[in-house]
Structure 1
Amino acid sequence: MKKTLLATAIAGSMIATGAQAATIYNQDGTKLDLYGNLQIAYKSVEQAQRNAAGDIVGAESADELFDNGSTLGFSGEHVINRGLTGYFKAEFEHDADEAKTAGGLNTGDQSYMGLKGNFGDVRLGSWDPLIDDWIQDPITNNEFFDVSDSSYSRNLDAVSIVGVEDREGNKLQYLSPSFSGFQFAVGTQYEGDAEDENFSGSSNASAFAGLKYTAGAFSIAAAYDNLDNNDGTYGTTDIDAGDQYGITGQYTMDTLRVALKLERFESDNEFSEDANFYGLGARYGYGMGDIYGAYQYIDVGGDTFRNVVGDVIKGDAETSETFNEVVIGATYNVSDAMYTFIEGAWYDRDEDASDGVAVGAVYMF
C-alpha cells in the first residue's frame, strides 16, 4: 500500500517526516496543520490478456501518464487536560494529471479521530489495516510497485480475499504505550446490517491484533486479522474468507534498514488457496535520496485437506505453485520539498503479466 509520506523513512532520506506541513493555527493548546503532495508518474506495465475461462493467455504492454495518489490533508490536536490530547486527521485525494475533468477532491484516503496520553492511543475511523502497517510495509512501501501480499496480489488468481477493498473503514483500535520495549494493538471493524459493503446480512464486528517489541535498532512485530467481515454471501455462494497473519523483523543501522517477513493467508473456502509469503526488503539512504529493493518467494497451495471420507477437497500438493518477485527502485531529492523516483518490478507470472517500470515526480507541501 503506497504512502508517499513514508512513516518508515529512515535517516538520510528526507522523504516525508511531515516536516512540509504548514501550521494554520497554534494557540492555547490547539493546533491545526495543512499538508499534501502532488504526484505525477509514467508507467508501462504488462497487462494480462485472458480467455473466456479467465486463464492468462498473453500480455500486452500498456503505458500511461497518471496521478500516483496526490493528496490534500488536514491534521489537528488539542490538549484536553494534562496527559490527555484529542486529535484528528483527514486526507483527500485528487487527480493531478487530469485536474480539469477529474472532479476535484474526488475520493478519501484516511480519516480518523482519537485520544492519546499516558494510557496509550484510542482511534476511531478509517485507515490502513494493522497487518499492512506492521507486517507488509516494512518490506515494500514504495512509490508504485510493491511485492504481493495476502491483501493484494498482482495477477495471483489462486489467492483472493473477497471484499478486501472495504477493510479500511469503520474501525476502532487501541494502541498501548511501550512497556520495556513491548507494545500491543487490538481493534475491531464493525459492519452494521445497513452497510452496503456488509456481505453477511447481519451486524458483525471483526477482530485484529498485533504485538511489537523494539530493542535499540531492532524491532519485531506480529499481527493477526480474522477477516470476519469478509465472510458472507456473494451471489448464491456462502464464503468463509479465512485468516491472515504474519511476523516481520527489522534492523536499522545508520541509513540502512533491512526487513524480513513471513506472512500467511489461510483460506477457509474452495475458491482461494492457502499461501505463504517470504519477503526480504532493504532501503538505503545515500544522502540525496534512497535506493531500495525487495525479493519475495510465494508458496501457493500444497497443504492437502480432506473430507470425512478422505477425498482431497482443497490444496492438493500436486497443484501447488511458487513464484519469485523482485522490486527495485531509487529516489533522488531535487529539494527539501521535491523528489523523483524510478522503479522496476518482476512478478514471475504467466506471460510476464504485471511486470513493468515506473518513473515519477513528487512535490510535497
Structure 2
Amino acid sequence: MHRRCVVGTATAVASSLMFAVSAHAQSSITLYGIADTGLLYLSKTLNLATGGDGGKFVGLQNAGIAPSLFGLRGAEDLGGGLQAEFNLQSGIDLTNGGFNNSNGNLFGREAYVGLKGGFGEVKAGLQFSPFFQSIWDLDPRAFSEFGSIIGIYANNVTATGAFNSNAISYTSPVIAGLQASAMFGFGGVAGNFQSGRQYSASLRYQWSGLTLSAAFYDGNPGGSVNTVPPSNVGFEGRMLAAAYKFGSVTAKASFTSFKVEGGPSNNVYGGGLDFLALPQLDLNGGVWYVSDRNDTSSHSLMGALGATYFLSKATGLYAQVGIVNNHGKANLGLTPAVGLTSLFAPSGTTTGATIGIMHMF
C-alpha cells in the first residue's frame, strides 16, 4: 500500500475516533429505574381449569404500585434547539429476577431513538401508544399495579397498545394549551400490510387546573412480533377523560371503550380523587364499572383506596385495599402483579390488600 494511502487511512480513522469522542462528550446518559415489591392478599383467585374459585392467595408480589424496571436514557444537544434522544427500558420481576411489566424481552417496555425540538418530538421503535399514555395520565390512582384501570386494561387486551413494536410516533408542541400525538405501528409481515398494523392518536387540552383528553387505538391481530404477554390482540379502543386540580386535590373521571376481536366489547366508567394530604403523604381512591355491551349480564364493579408515605423523594411505603365484584362471564381481577392468578377473578366478590415499598433511582 502506498504511504499516502496509509497516512490517509490513518487520518480518517483518527478523525472518526475524534468525532466519536467529541459526540460522546456532548451527550448525556442516565441510568434510572424503579424497584417495587410487597405482600399481597387476595380472598379469591381464578382456577383457570374450572373457572371457579382457586382459593386465597398470600405471597410476595412484584410491583405493588409502580412497575419494577430499569433503563438507560440518553440525549445529545445538536444545536438550534434540536436534540437527539434514545430510551431503553426493561421490566423486571423482583421476586425472581426475571422479566416482568413488559413484553417478555430485554428492553421490552421501550426501545426507541428520536429527535425533539421546537417542532415537537419524533420517535421510532418500541413505545407506548398515545391511547395507553392517555389512560395512564387520567387514572385517579396514577396507574397503580393494584386496583386501578391498568388491571382492567390488561384484563381486556393484555399488553396490546402498551408495547408497540415497529412504531413511529409524533407529538406536537403545546400550542394554546393543546397537544396532539399520533403513532403508526407497522406489522412487519411481507405481503400483508394489514397484519399486525396498529395506529393510535390523542388530543390533550390543559387550561389552569382543567385537563381534557381524548384518544383512540385501532390494531389488527398478527404481525411479525410475538410477545409474552401478547401485544398483538386485535381491538378498537376509545377514551374520553377529564381532570380538575383544586389545591392539593385532583379529581379525575373517564369513559373507555374496548372492542376486542373475538372477545367482549366493554364500556368502562371510572373516576376518583387524589389528595396530597402532606408533602410526604399521598391518599387516593377510585371506582370503576365495566359492562359488556354484547352481554349486559356480564359486568364488574371495582373500587380501591391507597396511601403512600414518602420517607424521601425516592423511597415510599404504601398500603392499598380493594374490592371487585363480578357477574356473568366477567372475570376482572384486582392486579396483574402475579400473572393470571391475580389478573382474573371468579364470579362474586373478591377483596384484596397489599403493603410494600417502592424505591426510585
Equivalent in 235, 239, 244 of residue 246 of structure 1: 239
Deviations 1:40-63 (A, max 9, x none): 2111222112555xxx33241112
Deviation at 1:38, TM superposition (A): 2.1
Residue ranges of structure 1 left out of the alignment (5+ in a row)? 1-25, 155-159, 233-238, 302-314
What is residue 19 of structure 1 aligned with on the other side? Answer: none
Pick which of 90-99 and 37-46 moved more.
90-99
| Residues 256, 64 of structure 1: alpha-carbon distance in 2 compared, 3 angstrom cutoff | same
> RMSD of the TM alignment (CA)?
3.4
CA separation in 2, counterparts of 1:150 and 1:245? 17
What is residue 217 of structure 1 aligned with on the other side? Answer: 209
What is residue 38 of structure 2 aligned with on the other side? Answer: 41
| Residues 180, 202 of structure 1: alpha-carbon distance in 2 compared, 3 angstrom cutoff | closer
| Residues 354, 123 of structure 1: alpha-carbon distance in 2 compared, 3 angstrom cutoff | farther
CA separation in 2, counterparts of 1:29 and 1:248? 40
| Residues 169, 351 of structure 1: alpha-carbon distance in 2 compared, 3 angstrom cutoff | same
SS in 1 for 2:142: coil
What is residue 11 of structure 2 aligned with on the other side? Answer: none
Deviation at 1:94, TM superposition (A): 3.3
> 2:56 corresponds to which letter in structure 1?
S
What is residue 12 of structure 1 aligned with on the other side? Answer: none
Kept after mapping to 2: 8 A contact 1:161/1:230: no
Q: What percentage of residue pairs aligned between the two structures are identical?
A: 20
Equivalent in 245, 262, 266 of residue 275 of structure 1: 266
CA separation in 2, counterparts of 1:161 and 1:97? 25
> 1:57 corresponds to which letter in structure 2?
G
CA separation in 1, counterparts of 2:236 and 2:317? 38
Deviation at 1:285, TM superposition (A): 1.2
Deviations 1:224-279 (A, max 9, x none): 111234699xxxxxx99342111111111232211110111234x5x323221111
| Residues 344, 231 of structure 1: alpha-carbon distance in 2 compared, 3 angstrom cutoff | farther
| Residues 326, 230 of structure 1: alpha-carbon distance in 2 compared, 3 angstrom cutoff | farther
What is residue 157 of structure 1 aligned with on the other side? Answer: none
Deviations 1:290-311 (A, max 9, x none): 111101112212xxxxxxxxxx
What is residue 28 of structure 2 aligned with on the other side? Answer: 31
Q: How many residues align?
A: 304
Kept after mapping to 2: 8 A contact 1:207/1:228: no
Residue 61 of structure 2 corresponds to residue 63 of structure 1: no
Kept after mapping to 1: 8 A contact 2:132/2:161: no
What is residue 77 of structure 2 aligned with on the other side? Answer: 79
Deviation at 1:150, TM superposition (A): 9.4
Residue ranges of structure 2 left out of the alignment (5+ in a row)? 1-22, 225-231, 327-345
Kept after mapping to 2: 8 A contact 1:162/1:241: no
Structure with a larger share of its residues in helix: 2
| Residues 231, 299 of structure 1: alpha-carbon distance in 2 compared, 3 angstrom cutoff | farther
